[in-house]
Amino acid sequence: MTLSRIRTMLEPLLRRCFHLYWRFARGMTFGVRALVFDAQGRVFLVKHSYVAGWHLPGGGVEVGETALDAIRRELEEEGNIVFDGQPVLHGIFFNRHVSRRDHVVVYIVRDFHQVSKPVPNREIVDCGFFEVKSLPGGTTEGTRRRIEEAAGDLPISPDWVGHG
């Protein structure tokens, strides 16, 4: 059995365990993600070790941290990406697929530099910039929707993915 298959099998259990912990540790889960577009219009995506698919970089907002501080930290950790200018708020999304209390703030980042391409680690196993019209297989629905919204192909939805 491959590591990828084991991860896929354990993913629902791990997600439930994390959210059970967060239910008691936090009244609401609050995360950040970024649509990072390079000069060629490509979008930066990451592949995590603990969840399947390609995602926008980001993560949880820690106690005492602003959403802007959180996305700055997450981009440095996951992509060696440093802001050269202020990101623009794209939207705030309710992620009912994860839990009834999960919200995600998404920023658009165009003014940045990447110190170096990150080396794969325990959290991020792969990352890179991809053409918007030819995203890698396994790009998640929510990630695709945010990219299509930013491109003007879809209206901005209040939900991370479809209702239900």
Note the pLDDT of residue 9.
76
Q: What is the mean pLDDT of residues 39-45?
A: 98
Residues of the chain with pLDDT > 90, as a percent, come to 71
- Considering only CA atoms, which of 13, 25, 37, 98 is closest in space to residue 62? 25
Structural domains in the chain, CATH included, are 3-150 (3.90.79.10)
Residue 24 has pLDDT above 70, yes or no: no
Reported as a single tens digit per residue, the pLDDT across 78-94 is 999 999 999 999 999 99
Q: What is the mean pLDDT of residues 116-140?
A: 95
Q: What is the mean pLDDT of residues 42-70?
A: 95
Q: What is the mean pLDDT of residues 31-59?
A: 96
Note the pLDDT of residue 15.
73
The two structure tokens encoding residue 16? 């439930």
| 143 within 8 A of 55, measured Cβ to Cβ | yes
Residues of the chain with pLDDT > 70, as a percent, come to 92
- Considering only CA atoms, which of 95, 114, 113, 97 is closest in space to residue 105? 95
Residue 95 has pLDDT above 80, yes or no: yes
- Considering only CA atoms, which of 8, 4, 87, 94 is closest in space to residue 44? 87
